[in-house]
């Protein structure tokens, strides 16, 4: 009888599913790293239940021009900058959504489309700047800031559509300022996004297919679009007072978000990420493809798994709930908590 009980216990333990953190810490088999396409989607869905993968024949083409080289995750300049030390005080809620905390700041829920350009570093910072203009003014100033202004004119930030450094984009806000912007062809702003949403998107106007080699970085033009006559280019600028990195400490990151507004994080991207359709992302299979920068707007816990709530820049028909995704929180998964940057706005 004892042998039977021990055998049943062993079977039960063997069948006990891994937690998300255990899955993240578990080495990925070499054969799983080599998978792609439908085989990778099947593998992901068979080996975990935290997120859903779905294969699309267009996924690879969509994906390859929207991430940047991993070298942009390692900035020697950033190593020389001080890290903002935050001593979390008081209660930090179990869940937080910046869209709900600052309901007047509608820019927080404004999903951008970087199109076929590795401009995530500029788009995410541009989005976070606009958010913080609002959050740090208690909702009295509401703007969208120009990712194209950063992308095209920040010479020290990197290589435009081929990738760049998020902390340098925040520093550019201090030294040069950034004008107002918005989506492609937006009116009433100085410099809207340079590229149209390429490819087909659900319930949206079709502008054309994505260029085979991706977009070329736009030229820096220090003028507003012709139909914008509210201010000159220089008059339209918004400036920052401080740019900083945060310690790789998820509690400190949460404190920063709930105090000052969304932050920008960069993480390592693997080929299974292009298959994401919803849930809490945990890297499960495929190989490293590059880096990506995104805007973190909150956090939460689902079925015991802690996550970050993130606004992506791949249009509203990507991911879950109109352009968002969630990723495992608290274990620096894919280095999501390692390169978090933010800044303060001149009022």
Quote the Cα angle for 331-62-267, to 5°.
Answer: 20
Establish whether 45 is a catalytic residue: no
| Catalytic hit among 105, 117, 120, 157 | 120
| Catalytic hit among 312, 315, 333, 334 | 312
DSSP 3-state of 328: strand
Beta strand segments in the chain, E: 51-53, 83-84, 96-97, 240-246, 263-270, 276-281, 288-302, 305-311, 324-328, 341-345
Quote the Cα angle for 80-249-159, to 5°.
Answer: 45
| Catalytic hit among 144, 196, 283, 292 | 292
For 181-220, the DSSP string reads: --STT-SSSSS--SS---S--TTS----PPPTT-PPPPP-
Establish whether 292 is a catalytic residue: yes
Q: How far apart are CA 20 and CA 329, in angstroms?
A: 10
The alpha-carbon radius of gyration of the chain (Å, integer) is 21
Establish whether 134 is a catalytic residue: no
Active site residues: 120, 292, 312
């Amino acid at each position: 009888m004892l042998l039977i009980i021990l055998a049943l216990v062993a079977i039960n333990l063997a069948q006990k599913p891994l937690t998300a953190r255990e899955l993240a810490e578990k080495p990925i088999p070499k054969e799983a790293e080599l998978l792609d396409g439908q085989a990778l989607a099947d593998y992901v869905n068979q080996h975990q239940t935290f997120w859903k993968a779905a294969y699309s024949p267009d996924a690879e083409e969509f994906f390859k021009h929207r991430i940047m080289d991993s070298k942009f995750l390692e900035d020697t300049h950033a190593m020389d900058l001080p890290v903002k030390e935050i001593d979390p005080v008081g209660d930090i809620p179990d869940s937080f959504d910046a869209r709900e905390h600052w309901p007047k700041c509608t820019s927080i829920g404004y999903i951008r489309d970087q199109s076929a350009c590795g401009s995530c570093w500029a788009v995410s910072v541009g989005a976070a700047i606009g958010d913080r203009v609002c959050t740090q003014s208690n909702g009295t100033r509401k703007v969208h800031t120009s990712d194209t202004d950063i992308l095209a004119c920040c010479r020290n930030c990197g290589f435009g559509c081929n990738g760049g450094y998020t902390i340098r984009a925040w520093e550019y806000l201090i030294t040069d300022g950034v004008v107002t912007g918005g989506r492609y062809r937006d009116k009433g702003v100085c410099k809207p996004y340079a590229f149209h949403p390429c490819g087909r998107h659900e319930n949206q106007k079709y502008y054309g297919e994505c260029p085979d080699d991706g977009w070329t970085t736009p030229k820096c033009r220090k003028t507003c679009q012709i139909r914008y006559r509210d201010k000159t280019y220089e008059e339209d600028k918004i400036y920052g007072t401080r740019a900083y990195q945060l310690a790789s400490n998820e509690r400190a990151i949460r404190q920063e978000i709930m105090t000052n507004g969304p932050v920008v994080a960069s993480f390592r991207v693997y080929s299974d990420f292009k298959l994401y359709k919803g849930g809490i992302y945990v890297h499960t299979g495929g190989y490293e493809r590059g880096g990506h920068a995104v805007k973190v707007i909150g956090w939460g816990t689902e079925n015991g798994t802690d996550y970050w709530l993130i606004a992506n820049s791949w249009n509203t028909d990507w991911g879950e709930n109109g352009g968002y995704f969630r990723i495992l929180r608290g274990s620096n998964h894919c280095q999501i908590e390692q390169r978090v940057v933010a800044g303060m706005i001149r009022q």
